Amino acid sequence: MDVPLRFATADDLDGIWDVFRLGFGGKEADRAEWNDGLEADRALVSIGDQGEVAAASHIRRFDQWFGGRLVPLAGFSPVAVLPQYRGRGLGKAVTAGQYPDLRERGEVISGLFPASVELYRSVGFELAGSYVQRRIPAALFSTLRAGEPVSIRRGTVDDVAAVHRCYERLASRTDGAVTRTPGWWARRLRPDLADTNLFVVDHPSEPGEVYGYAIYRHGKAAPPYDYSVVVAEVQASDADALRALWRVVGSSGSQAPHVEVIGPADDILFLLLGGADPVAVRSEIRWMVRLIDAPGAVAARGWNPTASGRVHLAVRDEHAPWNDGRWILELEAGEGRLRPGGDGTVELGIGALSCWWSGYASAQALAMAGHLRCADPTALATLTGLGASSPPTLVDFY
């Protein structure tokens, strides 16, 4: 279906708000905050029969760490269609319609948290990572012991900027972590620390810097308990500090028997905790990624510096035709390159390539799921060996 689309202007903001309000159940009181977070020229709209905004997609720009390098990311946030226009292809149209602009801006990958995997898979997105909300018994944290003594103090508003800097230093080691603006940070750590509990470990050699931090707030609990501990984030520069901070987070178990944590399916927290598996998963979703500019994305991320090889690909991409065709993928010394040519040994859609690029699934797993075809076992093994070895982690829901 050919849907006329255009980028929004400030005059469309009320119409866009209406689409998002009906899509996500927003209240009138939220309007100003929503509108403040929108950039009109990053919203693509479709106009309905009555001249109203019938559908809209909006992009939030981030940078996302992959292989120790920052990759420009266009985050779809959000996408919605007025109820009376749903089921006619508008959701797909306002999503795919953004791709040429993203490419021009150098946003070589895009991502989103899907309400419908099918919708976004049909326009080239594929799974990239998990986002799991768990309720872990506080008692499990009491088993944590740091090897070396770690001094933890209560954080104050004067530590907030140092916490931001600590995150920026540590994020590069986590594939999938995104850079945060001050506005984005405020959702996780309010600058005035209202209703927020901050604990920090001072940096041993850099005055004014923190070495690790734990942020949590008190949430609801079922009677007779008073509250639950809702973790916003725990980060530390070494394992002793990490263990000590998690122990503090779990230390309120006499009143707060549960610690609520958001993390990936294979959270490294499970490499620390000593308990068996009494983990309650409250919700589990998966975020998705799509390569907007395949050669740009291959060149932008860092790769395993010890893996090198070459594989011929035949990529299908109906919605970003500049990616469609035969490519030779070459990785060497941590650098990646995709150049036109080759004999198309591995046949895959842009979604499968995006998924492999992210590290979420190996080429072998994608072949098993029917997302990739390859008659040459050596080429399949090479592509499997070149990919990242574990899925990326993203805890910033956008």
Ligand X SMILES: CC(C)(COP(=O)(O)OP(=O)(O)OC[C@H]1O[C@@H](n2cnc3c(N)ncnc32)[C@H](O)[C@@H]1OP(=O)(O)O)[C@@H](O)C(=O)NCCC(=O)NCCS
Identify residue 325 by its one-letter amino acid code: G
Residues 120-149 within binding reach of ligand X (CB under 6 A):
122
Separation of first and last alpha carbons in the chain: 28
Q: Within 13 Å and on the Cβ side, how many CA atoms surround 138?
A: 19
Q: Which of 63, 117, 119, 62 is nearest to 94 (CA)?
A: 119
Q: Which stretch binds ligand X (CB under 6 A): 30-38, 80-88, 204-212, 372-380?
A: 80-88
Looking at residue 5, the DSSP 8-state letter turns out to be -
Nearer to ligand X, 88 or 190 (CB): 88
Of 72, 75, 114, 129, the residue at the interface with ligand X (CB under 6 A) is 114
User: Which residue's beta carbon is nearest to the bound ligand X?
Assistant: 91
What is the sign of the dihedral through the CA atoms of 261, 264, 270 and 271? negative
**49 touching ligand X, by CB under 6 A:** no
Burial class (CB in 10 A: 0-12, 13-18, 19+), 378: exposed
Of 14, 68, 104, 116, the residue at the interface with ligand X (CB under 6 A) is 116
Nearer to ligand X, 199 or 287 (CB): 287
Overall size of the chain counted in residues: 398
**87 touching ligand X, by CB under 6 A:** yes
Determine how β-strand 228-236 pairs with β-strand 210-219: antiparallel
Of 26, 48, 89, 275, the residue at the interface with ligand X (CB under 6 A) is 89
Of 11, 28, 33, 118, the residue at the interface with ligand X (CB under 6 A) is 118
Identify residue 7 by its one-letter amino acid code: F
- Give me the 172-211 binding string for ligand X, x by CB under 6 A, dash otherwise: ----------------------------------------
What is the spatial distance between Cα 212 and Cα 236, in angstroms, rounded to a whole number? 4
Of 44, 70, 79, 348, the residue at the interface with ligand X (CB under 6 A) is 79
Q: Which of 61, 56, 52 is nearest to 20 (CA)?
A: 56
Of 80, 292, 352, 394, the residue at the interface with ligand X (CB under 6 A) is 80
The least distance separating ligand X from the CB of residue 112, rounded to whole angstroms, comes to 6
The least distance separating ligand X from the CB of residue 392, rounded to whole angstroms, comes to 19
**21 touching ligand X, by CB under 6 A:** no
Phi, psi of 284 (to 5 degrees): -145, 120
The least distance separating ligand X from the CB of residue 263, rounded to whole angstroms, comes to 21
